[in-house]
Structure formats: C-alpha cells, structure tokens
Amino acid sequence: MRIDFRHLRTIKAIHDTGGLARAADQLNMTQSALSHQIKGIEDQAGVALFARRTKPLRLSAAGEKLLAAAEDILPRMAALEADFAGLVSGKAGRMHIAIECHACFEWLFPVLEQFRKAWPEVDVDIRPGLAFDALPALRREEVDLVVSSDPEDLSETDFTPLFDYEPVFVASAQNPLAAKSVIEAEDFRDQTLITYPVDRARLDVFSQLLTPAKVEPAALRQVELTAVILLLVASNRGVAVLPDWVVSQIKYNADYVTRPLTKSGKTRRLFAATRAEDTQRPFVAHLIRLARQEAVRMQRA
Amino acid sequence: MRIDFRHLRTIKAIHDTGGLARAADQLNMTQSALSHQIKGIEDQAGVALFARRTKPLRLSAAGEKLLAAAEDILPRMAALEADFAGLVSGKAGRMHIAIECHACFEWLFPVLEQFRKAWPEVDVDIRPGLAFDALPALRREEVDLVVSSDPEDLSETDFTPLFDYEPVFVASAQNPLAAKSVIEAEDFRDQTLITYPVDRARLDVFSQLLTPAKVEPAALRQVELTAVILLLVASNRGVAVLPDWVVSQIKYNADYVTRPLTKSGKTRRLFAATRAEDTQRPFVAHLIRLARQEAVRMQRA
DNA sequence: CGCGAATGTGAAACAAATTCATTAAATTCA
DNA sequence: TGAATTTAATGAATTTGTTTCACATTCGCG
C-alpha cells in the first residue's frame, strides 16, 4: 500500500477531530476502515504513526511528519481542483496566440491588455517563432488562435474576419518613385526594400506582387520594429510596403509619402483562426469581438 | 475516481517519456492501464488532459496544470519518505525533553548543543509546562525523555542515573544563619525563601525538608534564573536551597555562604527517564551518555 | 492507400479498500 | 474500585476499483 491522498485526508481528519470514530464520521467511512488504513501505512512505511499506549489516539513523531506533509499537499491539491473547476466553468483557460502578420503586434497589444482585465484567469501569451506552421500548430493545440491573412479550407478550423486592409507603398518624399501615382513590381528593381524579419511567403509585398512578377529588389533590409522601418523610409534609406492602417497610425514623420500598388491594390483581409470547438467559448469569442472593435477604432484614426 | 499520487506519477511519466507506451514501461504497467487511468481523471474532473488530435499525446491546458501540481507535490512526498526512512534507520527521530528539576537547564544546554551536532536529523526541544505530569507525558509519547529526581517503579519506563547532588543552603554572609554550621527546617521560619517558580512538590527544599517538618517560611519569592537567585541571596534579600553543583558552578559573587542541610543532607540522584522501548535507541543512549559526561565535567569544576 | 506505431475500449481477472460483527482495551464516573 | 462507556483493533466477507488481456481504432508516413 503506497501512501495516498486518502491517507493524508485521514491523518488530518484524525488529528482535527481527535479520534478515529469522529474522523470516520467526517470522512463518511467506518471507524474500522480508518483503523485498517493507518495500519496499512504503518506496515508499509515501517513507522508508527500514533502512540498506541493512550486511548484517544495521539500522533507519534512520524505521524507529525505525515500530518505536516498533508497540510502542505492538501491545499495544493485543492488549488488544482479549483483550476479545473475554472477550466470547466469557462472562466479560465489558455489563449496562446500566433501571428503570421508581423505588423499585427501594433494592434494586438491594446486588445490583449483589455482582454487580460476581462479574463484574469485566462493564461494569455503570444508565441513567437510560429510565423510558419501556425495553422498546424493550432490544430495540435500548441496555440489557440492564429492571426492570418491566408484562410485555408480546413475542417475543424474556423476563420473569423477581423478587418480589411490594403498594402501600400511607402517611400521618402525625396525618392524618385514619389513622383509616380501608382507603384508597380518593376519599380522595386533598383530599390532597397525594408521588411519585417520573416519569411517572404508571409510578406504581402512578395506573396502578392514581387514573387508573381519575378522581380527581385536591389537590396533587402530586415527590421523588427514598424516605427524604425518608417524612420528609415523617411530618411530615404529604402522603401517599404505596409498595411495602410500601420502607416496612418504611426506619424512620427511626415517626410514619407504613400502610394497604392497596382497589382495588390485589392483589399486584403485579416482573420482570426481558431479550432471550431473553441470558437464559441466565451473568452475566445470575446477576444475576437475586442479585436474587431479595436480594428474599427484604428481605421478611424 | 479521485485524483491520486498514481495519477501524478502517470502524468509526469507521460510528459517525460513523451508517450503512453514508454510511460507505461517506466511505471511497470501496461499502456492500457494508463489509458484507463487518464480517462478516469478526465471523466471525473470534466477536463481533457491531452490534445487527442495529435498522435504523440500532447498536454492540454488542464494537463499542464496537473503536471505543475505533480512537480510540486511529488518531491514533497519524496521528502516525506526520506523522513520516514531516517526514522526507521535510527538516524532521525524526536528528542523532546521535560525537566522536572528547574536548575537542570544549566547543564542541559551544553549537552544538547553537542547532541544537535552529533544527530542533526533529530528534532530536539525542551518542553516547558510539564514540570508536573512529566512521567505520564513520557508514557503518552508527548515527550521522549524526562529529567527527574523521583524515580517511580513503572514498567515500560527506564530510569537511568545521571549524577548525584546534594541540596545545600545558600545565604548572604550577612545573614544570621551564616553563623550556623548546619541548617534545619526550623531555621526557615523567619526567612524569605527564594525558589524557582515551580510547584512545591518539585522543590527539594519542600519535599525533603519543610513539608515533612511542617515549617512555612516567613515569605516566598519565585525567581526564574539561577543567577538572579544567587544575586538576591548575596544581597541578603532572602535565602535559597540549590543543588551543590549549581552553587559551585556560578560564582558571580562571593558574598554568600553555603551550609549543609541536616535532614536532607543525604545525597539525591538525578535520573533520565525514557520509555523502555527507546532506551536502547542509538541517539537516546548517546544523549544519556553525553549527559553523564557533562555531569562529571561539572562536578570537577 | 496501406502499413506500422500508438492509443482507446470492454470484459474478465485481480487487487485493494471498506464494511460488518465482534473483541479488546482504556477512560470515565458513580 | 468496578461497571458503564468510549475508543480502537481484528478477521472474514463484500464491495469497489484498478489492471490486464485481447482486440478495435486512429493517426502519421511513405
């Protein structure tokens, strides 16, 4: 007989009530069961848990140690059960997010800030390094929501539209291309293109424009932060293609101009991908609602 | 099915080995048993522990929580088992001591200091407030050793002699009684008697002299510390009766004199009382040995 | 699409914990 | 002190729960 939670509860009840019979009552068992139980542990561990000389049972040194362990462990177990209860009731859960679209950090943070306040028991995180296989990771429950602009027709996966945007060309006012009213793929041939440090397939400018047109820019430069990209563009160190809302949001410098792109002039749409089973869960639906609201607020800006 | 240590071990093994079959192997069970086990918890708690979509089983949010609990609790349990092992092997244990003789603090502390170093895993303590019923408390395993000068013929209880002493009368050199070479019970009638704050029955001066002679001192004063008793005696605020070794040990002041007591001039003996079952345990026997050594050292002083 | 590896399932076998009935022991109180 | 009462221990029977066995199912990968 291995020591077990049952035994911890037993020793605690005996100590609390001061007797086998009362403890048995509290635990809804017979006195005999408890007697057998403690005999079991004593045999197994080879120590006496109680001083048997006296009639109301008293803890021995070993018994005190077991009791101490019980008082450590039982509350920890209660906490676990509370966790589970939270999970079942829907108040708690996990919301680990993968974003394929790098610029999306910009609007995601305020959304998550609101969300955290509304669902304090939900474990929120953004998982980096999944820009690639984010949808398989969603299916595998490695993450719980993927922000993506390339919906696939997967059963078990829902794509909820968040908002529409348009990739726009950004360049310094000094750049010769500023003179053109519309930018085409060929225009990139002699430019330094500044992008986020992610795979080409995940960048609208490549997937929508340059790759189909088989155009390679003169140089590439990868920059992490949107503000820094715009700074570099403004000082004519290169050109970029960013979602329209990013450009209108961040106005550190008026020295750059924006121009539509021919081929990808068409509107793109951003989606929240979730597992079908989760889409209706209260906190998942709420996060998506918050994200759409934030998008509206942002478009107005 | 209640959550159980078995389940904690299971979830940990599955996580560590990354598969049911391998985990089953590690736990010396069949894969099927684990499958049933997991299903059991999931049904009981109403949460999924694993993402079932993927083939190598992956933990779900609830599973992560259970794993976290396992990693909290299992080491605590291992510690308990180590405690028990120590208890069984005799390296660990409890040594709670009751002293009927109040002066004994004086020589007990250095003994316990040595003892603690020799037996770091034994829980050493001095239990106050048991000057009375110390022997019953010993039998009830409330304490493990009683320092007593009144051995009783109890089965199950051993009395091991520690050392002999003589209660001696102490008074200021200015006190008229200093002129007498031997002090008798009647001499206390017009004196202030200073004693430890314990029951009369536990004080040699009453049990051996005044109570049999039906003599009541003019006044009583109870003082906690031996050094303070001697201070008060030296400044002639009262007289006291103390074990000879106490008086010879503490020589803060030479202004007091010591005189033998007629009636109780006979030697008294101090014993270590232990439960018969414990007397031969290594650390119990060692403590008694240390105590006798300290007594010899002290008598020489 | 099918093979192999991994997991799930149900019935039966097995093991373990609990109960019932009773005994033994210690404590209380008259 | 001794009878009454409370409290714990024991052993056999029963119930409960866990594990195994044999087989079905699912998934991933070539």
Chain B CB contacts of A141 under 8 Å are: 51, 53-54, 58, 60
| Interatomic CA distance for residues A90 and A283, integer angstroms | 8
Residue A299 has pLDDT above 80, yes or no: no
Confidence band for A241, pLDDT divided at 50, 70 and 90: very high
- Kindly give the pairing relationship between strand A219-222 and strand A268-275: unpaired
Q: Residue closest to D17, CA→C1'?
A: B1
Residue A160 has pLDDT above 70, yes or no: yes
CB B256 within 8 A of CB B171: yes
| Interatomic CA distance for residues B236 and B227, integer angstroms | 14
| Interatomic CA distance for residues B59 and B14, integer angstroms | 9
CB B81 within 8 A of CB B250: no
CA of B22: nearest nucleotide by C1' is C6
| Interatomic CA distance for residues A225 and A237, integer angstroms | 15
CB B288 within 8 A of CB B163: no
Residue A263 has pLDDT above 80, yes or no: no
| B 37-56 → A contacts, CB under 8 A | 45-47, 51, 53-54
pLDDT (0 to 100) of residue B55: 65
Confidence band for A199, pLDDT divided at 50, 70 and 90: confident
Question: Dihedrals φ, ψ of A11, to 5°?
Answer: -65, -35
Q: Is B4 in Cβ contact with A58 (below 8 Å)?
A: no
Q: Is A69 in Cβ contact with B79 (below 8 Å)?
A: yes
Q: Is B53 in Cβ contact with A141 (below 8 Å)?
A: yes
| Interatomic CA distance for residues A241 and B205, integer angstroms | 102
| B 117-156 → A contacts, CB under 8 A | 123, 139-142, 156
Residue B94 contacts A, CB cutoff 8 Å: yes
pLDDT in 10s for each residue of chain B, 301 residues: 688 898 999 989 888 888 888 888 888 888 888 888 888 888 888 888 887 766 677 888 888 888 889 988 988 898 898 888 888 888 888 888 888 777 777 788 888 888 889 888 888 888 766 656 678 888 888 889 988 887 877 777 889 998 888 888 999 888 898 888 888 888 899 999 998 877 787 788 888 888 888 889 988 988 877 878 888 888 888 899 988 887 776 565 567 888 888 765 678 888 999 988 888 889 999 999 998 888 787 766 6
| Interatomic CA distance for residues B280 and B28, integer angstroms | 41
Closest chain A CA to residue B144: A61
Footprint of strand D on the protein (CB under 7 A): A 19-21, 31-32, 35-36, 38-39, 50, 52, 55-57; B 1, 4, 6, 28-30, 32-33, 36-37, 40, 53-55
DSSP H or E stretch at residue B237 = none
Closest chain A CA to residue B6: A4
The four Cα atoms A70, A75, A77, A83 give a dihedral, to 10 degrees, of 180
Burial class (CB in 10 A: 0-12, 13-18, 19+), A47: buried
Distance of CA A36 to the CA centre of its chain: 49
CB B115 within 8 A of CB B163: no
Q: Stretch A165-192: mean pLDDT, rounded? A: 89
Q: Is A66 in Cβ contact with B80 (below 8 Å)?
A: yes
Residue A71 contacts B, CB cutoff 8 Å: no
Closest chain B CA to residue A46: B88
CA of B56: nearest nucleotide by C1' is C6
| Interatomic CA distance for residues B25 and B32, integer angstroms | 11
| Interatomic CA distance for residues A294 and B16, integer angstroms | 42
The four Cα atoms A203, A208, A212, A216 give a dihedral, to 10 degrees, of -40
Q: Name A276's Cβ contacts closer than 8 Å, sequence gap at least 6.
A: A155, A156, A157, A158
Determine the longest span between alpha carbons in chain B, in angstroms: 101
